[in-house]
């Protein structure tokens, strides 16, 4: 038989003192222990067959607000009777009610009860209320005063007469009745034996304190064992956003593959977002439903880029020296200066191509917020991130472009198989779509790519091939995080962010 801990001893002793039978609530009062501490002690005592646990159901009756008022002032019919006695046994109905401080609204009910109890009645001739007898206290009134005195009573403990009165008061809606379950503990024979032998208690503490350590008191102290199975309160770690973590990881992989990061502004000149990319100025994708434009000022300055602007203009109009026919329209430099929100990361690539520190051969990537006036739904956002890169070098070909795509699909996205499909972008030719197969997901579009058109590179002063690629990172992340709604990328749901798994 193991030694008993403090709470267990106290519980056992309280039971012994009370003759072997108590409810948890009663033990709590007798032992000054917390009910939850008693329950933990009981679990152990029960496992040692020292106590038996029985569930006792009892029906509690308490007065409600109306009931309390009646308990204080008496039932309305009793109050009427009292007034009638004062008036000499007879009186005008309304006058009596007023004297008894009863409201017009309870008039009918009060008359009903007077009639039912046979205490008073309305005289048919005089239309006056007449006392029939001076009544003694009924069982309903007895119960009312008992409740007033005790606060609550248990149905099972009442005698027959009062039990019936409970029904009456319940129907009058002046008492609340509810069933309570209470655990009652009973000492077993082994329990009794132990109590009689005397319970040995070890002093226990729950919290180790600096004081115990300094004074060395911990040596004489028994630290209480905890229920290590008990649930604990939630706590949440500081965490990076899952989508940004995914992009961080992607960046690391790109850097490892030799890519340098490039950047660009949120508010972009149409020149970099469109014209420099050989998108004709009347292209349908340049209209208001595909791009956001800035209200004020409408235009930026192309002063620094005059040199390039002239060549881009000629290329659009007649192909300049690129070997192209051009688009054959009158290019507007005003339109090229129009300010807009970056709608594609390729704008950052165009900026990179004219930078003085551009390296050839070179590899660059950008992860940038892009904006398009889409309606926000499960698959569209009006703001989203694009990942894009360029590779420049003397002898780069379509063969290399496909090599880049395969590497991304397999190394970056963990795809099993890849397929290429002819694609179209205004600024690349040839253009290739990457379709990759991943077990459990099937074939999916992973990204688009191509070789920049000569009409793009030559006016910007680039005379080597430039391979360009973009990855559908949103889709890759959604697949990884097992979400089917793109709005979760900008989730406003803290609970989801706290719980989303990191690996």
Partner 1 sequence: MPTVEVDLEDLELLLGTQLPREEEKLNEVLSYIKGEAKGIESNEIRIELKDSNRADIWSVEGIARALRGYLGLERGFKDYHVEGRSGVTVQVDSKLKKIRPYIACSVVKGVRLTDTAIRQMMHFQDKMDQTYGRNRRRTSIGLYDYDLISPPLRYGVAKPDEVSFVPLDFDEKLTLREILKKHPKGIEYGHIVQRFPVWPIFMDSANNVLSFPPIINSNDLGHVTPSTENVLVEVTGTSVETVQNTLTNVTLALADRGGKIYSAKIQYPYGNIRSMTTPNLKGETFELGLDYVMKVIGIQFTLKEIRELLGKARYGVMKASKNSLVVKVPCYRVDVLHPIDIVEDIAIAYNYNKIQQQWPRQLTIGGLSNEAEFRDVVRELMVGLGFQEILTFIMSSPETLFTKMNVKSQRVVEIANPRLSSMTCLRNWLLPSLMEFLSHNTHVDYPQKVFEVGHCVVHNEQKENKTDDIETLACVTIHANASFTEAKSFLDALLTNLGAPYSLREESHESFIQGRAGKIIIGEKEIGIIGEIHPQVLQNWGLENPAAAFEININKVRQHIFSKP
Taking alpha carbons only, the member of 423, 417, 381 closest to residue 398 is: 423
As given in the structure block, the two tokens for residue 474 are: 């949103």
Taking alpha carbons only, the member of 43, 13, 7 closest to residue 195 is: 13
Given a contact cutoff of 8 angstroms between Cβ atoms, the answer to whether 381 and 486 are in contact is yes
138 binds partner 1 (CB under 8 A): no
491 binds partner 1 (CB under 8 A): yes
Nearer to partner 1, 22 or 277 (CB): 277
Per-residue DSSP letter, 376: P
Nearer to partner 1, 113 or 271 (CB): 271
Residues from 333 through 362 that contact partner 1 (CB under 8 A):
339, 341, 359, 361-362
For the bound state, the minimum distance from the C-beta of residue 293 to partner 1, rounded and expressed in Å, comes to 4
Given a contact cutoff of 8 angstroms between Cβ atoms, the answer to whether 328 and 317 are in contact is yes
| 469 Rama class: left (phi>0) / alpha (psi -120 to 50) / beta | beta
298 binds partner 1 (CB under 8 A): yes
Handedness of CA 248, 398, 456, 295 (dihedral sign): negative
Q: x-or-dash pattern for partner 1, window 176-215, by CB under 8 A?
A: ----------------------------------------
For residues 446 and 471, what is the distance between their CA atoms, to the nearest angstrom?
6
Nearer to partner 1, 113 or 427 (CB): 427
Nearer to partner 1, 193 or 261 (CB): 261
61 binds partner 1 (CB under 8 A): no
Task: Identify the residue among 295, 306, 502, 503 touching partner 1 (CB under 8 A).
Answer: 295
Given a contact cutoff of 8 angstroms between Cβ atoms, the answer to whether 61 and 166 are in contact is yes
Handedness of CA 308, 310, 316, 321 (dihedral sign): negative
Task: Identify the residue among 32, 159, 211, 303 touching partner 1 (CB under 8 A).
Answer: 303
For residues 217 and 77, what is the distance between their CA atoms, to the nearest angstrom?
70
Task: Identify the residue among 430, 437, 444, 483 touching partner 1 (CB under 8 A).
Answer: 430
Nearer to partner 1, 89 or 361 (CB): 361
For the bound state, the minimum distance from the C-beta of residue 438 to partner 1, rounded and expressed in Å, comes to 16
Given a contact cutoff of 8 angstroms between Cβ atoms, the answer to whether 368 and 346 are in contact is no
For residues 364 and 358, what is the distance between their CA atoms, to the nearest angstrom?
9
Task: Identify the residue among 451, 468, 473, 486 touching partner 1 (CB under 8 A).
Answer: 451
Question: Could you give the strand order of the β-sheet that contains 129-131, starting from the edge strand earlier in sequence?
Answer: 90-91, 129-131, 120-122
Residues from 231 through 290 that contact partner 1 (CB under 8 A):
234, 236-241, 243-244, 248, 251, 254-263, 265-269, 282-285, 288
For the bound state, the minimum distance from the C-beta of residue 276 to partner 1, rounded and expressed in Å, comes to 13
DSSP string, 389-408: EEEE-TT--HHHHHHHHHHI
As given in the structure block, the two tokens for residue 389 are: 């890169």
For the bound state, the minimum distance from the C-beta of residue 473 to partner 1, rounded and expressed in Å, comes to 13
Q: How many residues bind partner 1 (CB under 8 A)?
A: 107
The residue ranges of DSSP E strands in 37-148, in sequence order, are 51-63, 90-91, 120-122, 129-131
19 binds partner 1 (CB under 8 A): no
444 binds partner 1 (CB under 8 A): no
Residues from 95 through 114 that contact partner 1 (CB under 8 A):
none
309 binds partner 1 (CB under 8 A): no
Task: Identify the residue among 322, 343, 345, 386 touching partner 1 (CB under 8 A).
Answer: 322
406 binds partner 1 (CB under 8 A): yes
Biggest CA-to-CA distance, the chain: 125
Residues from 364 through 393 that contact partner 1 (CB under 8 A):
369, 371, 373-376, 382-383, 391, 393
Task: Identify the residue among 453, 462, 470, 476 touching partner 1 (CB under 8 A).
Answer: 453
For the bound state, the minimum distance from the C-beta of residue 497 to partner 1, rounded and expressed in Å, comes to 6
For residues 172 and 176, what is the distance between their CA atoms, to the nearest angstrom?
11
Bridge partners, residue 471, by sequence: 387, 447
Taking alpha carbons only, the member of 263, 278, 61 closest to residue 150 is: 61
For the bound state, the minimum distance from the C-beta of residue 278 to partner 1, rounded and expressed in Å, comes to 9
Region binding partner 1 by CB under 8 A among candidate stretches 73-81, 184-192, 423-431, 477-485? 423-431
For the bound state, the minimum distance from the C-beta of residue 415 to partner 1, rounded and expressed in Å, comes to 14
Under DSSP, is residue 227 helix (H, G, I), strand (E, B) or coil? coil
For the bound state, the minimum distance from the C-beta of residue 244 to partner 1, rounded and expressed in Å, comes to 6
Task: Identify the residue among 4, 143, 144, 396 touching partner 1 (CB under 8 A).
Answer: 396
């Amino acid at each position: 038989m193991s030694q008993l801990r403090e709470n267990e001893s106290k519980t056992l002793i309280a039971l012994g003192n009370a003759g072997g039978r108590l409810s948890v609530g009663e033990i709590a009062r007798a032992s000054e222990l917390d009910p939850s501490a008693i329950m933990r002690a009981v679990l152990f005592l029960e496992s040692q067959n020292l106590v038996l646990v029985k569930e006792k159901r009892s029906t509690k009756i308490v007065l409600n607000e109306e009931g309390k008022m009646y308990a204080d002032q008496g039932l309305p019919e009793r109050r009427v009777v009292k007034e009638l006695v004062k008036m000499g046994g007879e009186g005008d109905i309304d006058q009596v009610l007023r004297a008894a401080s009863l409201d017009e609204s309870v008039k009918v009910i009060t008359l009903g009860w007077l009639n039912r109890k046979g205490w008073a009645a309305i005289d048919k001739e005089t239309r006056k209320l007449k006392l029939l007898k001076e009544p003694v206290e009924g069982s309903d009134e007895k119960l009312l005063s008992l409740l007033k005195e005790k606060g609550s009573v248990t149905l099972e403990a009442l005698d027959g007469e009062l039990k019936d009165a409970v029904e009456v008061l319940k129907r009058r809606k002046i008492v609340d009745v509810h069933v309570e379950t209470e655990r009652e503990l009973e000492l077993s024979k082994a329990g009794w034996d132990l109590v009689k032998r005397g319970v040995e208690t070890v002093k226990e503490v729950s919290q180790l304190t600096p004081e115990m350590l300094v004074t060395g008191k911990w040596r004489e102290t028994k630290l209480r064992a905890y229920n290590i199975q008990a649930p604990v309160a939630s706590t949440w770690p500081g965490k990076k956003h899952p989508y940004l973590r995914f992009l961080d990881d992607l960046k690391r992989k790109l850097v490892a593959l030799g890519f340098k990061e490039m950047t660009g502004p949120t508010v972009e000149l149409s020149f970099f977002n469109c014209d420099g990319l050989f998108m004709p100025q009347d292209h349908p994708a340049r209209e208001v439903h595909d791009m956001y434009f800035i209200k004020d000022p409408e235009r930026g300055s192309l002063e620094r880029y005059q040199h390039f602007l002239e060549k881009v203009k000629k290329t659009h109009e007649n192909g300049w020296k690129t070997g192209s026919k051009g688009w054959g329209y009158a290019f507007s430099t005003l339109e090229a200066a129009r300010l807009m929100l970056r709608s594609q990361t390729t704008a950052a690539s165009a900026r990179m191509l004219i930078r003085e520190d551009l390296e050839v051969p070179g590899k660059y990537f950008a992860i940038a917020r892009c904006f398009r006036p889409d309606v926000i739904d499960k698959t569209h956002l009006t703001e989203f991130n694009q990942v894009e890169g360029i590779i420049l070098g003397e002898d780069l070909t379509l063969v290399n472009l496909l090599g880049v795509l395969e590497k991304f699909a397999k190394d970056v996205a963990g795809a099993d198989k890849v397929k290429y499909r002819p694609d179209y972008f205004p600024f690349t030719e040839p253009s290739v779509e990457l379709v990759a197969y991943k077990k459990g997901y099937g074939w999916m579009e992973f990204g688009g790519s191509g070789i920049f058109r000569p009409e793009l590179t030559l006016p910007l002063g680039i005379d080597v091939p430039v391979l360009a690629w973009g990855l559908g990172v949103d889709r890759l992340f959604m697949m990884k995080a097992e979400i089917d709604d793109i709005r979760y990328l900008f989730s406003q749901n803290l609970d989801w962010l706290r719980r989303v798994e990191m690996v």
